Amino acid sequence: MSIIVKIQYFTEDELKCPCCGLCNYDSFFLKKLDVFREMIKSRLQVTSGCRCAPHNLMVSGAVNSCHIGEGKTSSAVDVFPMDLTLPETFVKACESNFFNEVIYYKEKRFIHLGFDEKKLRPYFEVK
């Protein structure tokens, strides 16, 4: 499935599953991601986007990962900021209220941005 919402800062190529090309995203999530990118004035390199279940397993993703786009829409990306530091981007993502999952992986050098409808409270963490 392809992206059907118009976004300015991200392409289907960078958001799709690298093994099968799956790109089944929640439109509202993509709009928030695009507005976040505009707001912070920093390019965001997508290090992981939509995933099929086998790819999610291969990268040791969570069983119920918001990256998975099979049987539901994906609502997560992992990004590396090109014009801000990782800590600055983490703080801005937490303050934006666009995402209820913001995880800064210090050693792996990326930030997970996600929205999980099942979460009752925001989950912000530095790992």
b/e sequence 25-46, b meaning 16+ C-beta within 10 Å: bbeebbebbbebbeebebebeb
What residue type is assigned to position 46 of the chain? V
The pTM of this model reads 0.93
As a whole number, mean pLDDT of residues 47-65 equals 95
Q: End-to-end CA distance of the chain, in Å?
A: 33
Chain Cα centroid distance, residue 83: 18
pLDDT in tens, 82-109: 999 999 999 999 999 999 999 999 999 9
As a whole number, mean pLDDT of residues 47-71 equals 95
pLDDT at residue number 31: 95
pLDDT at residue number 1: 47
pLDDT over 50 at 70, yes or no: yes
pLDDT in tens, 7-46: 999 999 999 999 999 999 999 999 999 999 999 999 999 9
